[in-house]
Amino acid sequence: MDSNKIGHHISGQFNKELEDIRNKVLTMGGLVEQQVELAMQAFSTGDIEMAELVIKQDNQVDALEVEIDRECTQILALRQPAAFDLRLLLTVIKVINELEIVGDLAERISKLAIQSADSDGKIDQYYEIQHMSNLVKDMLHRSLDAFARMSIEEVPAITHLDDNVDREYASIIRQLITHMMEDPRNITRTINVLWTVRAMERIGDHACYICEHLIYMVKGEAVRHLSREELEKKVKGG
C-alpha cells in the first residue's frame, strides 16, 4: 500500500482534496516534531526564549487541527466516501488528535523548562534523559514517516522502541527518586524533571497510537488494545 492509493478517484477534485489533507497532516506533524525537539533543547539548556517559541507554536498546531478536522468532516458530508477513503478520513481525524496532544506535551515540557530555568540544581540523569528523548523523537518521526508513506512495515520496529522507552523511563524515575532522597533541597527541581520525563514517555505512547490508527487505515481492523505480539502478527500477515 502506498500513497498512490489516494490518486485513484475518477474525480480529480476528490483526489486533490485528499492529497491536500494528507499534506496538511504532514505539515502539522513536522511542526509538532519541531516543538518536541525545541522543548527538549529548552529543557536541557534552560533557554527561555526557545521554550516560549514552543508555546507560541502550539497555537499554529491547534489551528491546523481544527482546520484539518473541518475539512475531513466536509468531505465526509459532501463526498460520502466508503472503504479506504472513509478509513483514511477517520484515521486523519484520530492522528491529528494524537499530534495535538503531543504538541500540548511539548508545551508542557516548555513551561516546566521555564519554571526550572532559574534553578541551578544539576541533574545527574541528563545523559539518560537525552537518550530517552532521542528514542521518543525517533519514534515520532518514524510513525509520521509511516503515515506519509501509508505503510505499516515499520510499525513493529517503532513499538519495540516504545518498550525501550518504558524501560529507560522506569530507570530514570528510580534515579530521580534517589536523587531527591539524597538531598531534599533537590526536590522541587527534580519534580519538574519528573514531569518532563513523564511527558516524554507519553509522547512515545502517542507515536504508538499513530501507528495503531495507521494499521486500522491500511488493514481495516482495530488494533488499539492488542498486545505487541498480536499487533505484530496483524502487520505481517493476516
What is the distance, to the nearest Å, from the Cα of residue 233 to the centroid of all Cα atoms in its chain? Answer: 23
Quick check: 46 and 112 in contact, CB under 8 A? Answer: no
CB of 161 to its own copies, least distance (A): 21
Q: Of 134 and 188, which has the nearer Cβ to its own copies?
A: 188
Residue 33 to residues 22, 116, 195, 238, Cα–Cα distance (Å): 16, 22, 19, 32
Please state the closest distance from residue 224 (CB atom) to its own copies, in A: 6
Q: Which three cell numbers stand for residue 145?
A: 514517516
- Let me know how many helices (H) and strands (E) the chain has, helices first: 7, 0
Which is nearer to its own copies, 141 or 198 (by Cβ)? 198
Please report how close the Cβ of residue 126 comes to its own copies at its closest, in angstroms. Answer: 20
User: Which among 127, 60, 74, 94 has a CA at the least distance from the CA of 206?
Assistant: 94
Q: Which is nearer to its own copies, 148 or 191 (CB)?
A: 191
125's grid cell: 540523569
Point out which residues bind its own copies (CB under 8 A): 59, 62-63, 65-66, 69-70, 73, 76-77, 80, 82-83, 86-87, 90, 93-94, 97, 173, 177, 180-181, 184, 187-188, 191, 194, 222, 224-225
Report the residue number, 9 or 149, with the smaller CB distance to its own copies.
9
The minimum distance between CB 163 and its own copies, in angstroms, equals 18
Residues 6+ apart with CB under 8 A from 88: 6, 18, 81, 217
- Min dist CB 104 to its own copies, Å, is 10
Of 134 and 178, the one with the shorter C-beta distance to its own copies is: 178
Compute the distance between CA of residue 161 and CA of residue 30 in angstroms, rounded to an integer.
20
Torsion of CA 182, 186, 38, 63, to 10 degrees: 120
Closer to its own copies by Cβ: residue 38 or 72: 72
Instruction: Please choose, from the candidates 172, 235, 22, 105, the residue with its C-alpha nearest in 3D space to the C-alpha of residue 113.
Output: 105
The smaller minimum CB distance to its own copies, of residues 128 and 205, is found at 205
Shortest Å distance, C-beta 47 to its own copies: 25
Q: How far is the CB of 184 from its own copies (least distance, A)?
A: 5
Helix pair angle (155-182, 126-149), 10° resolution: 160
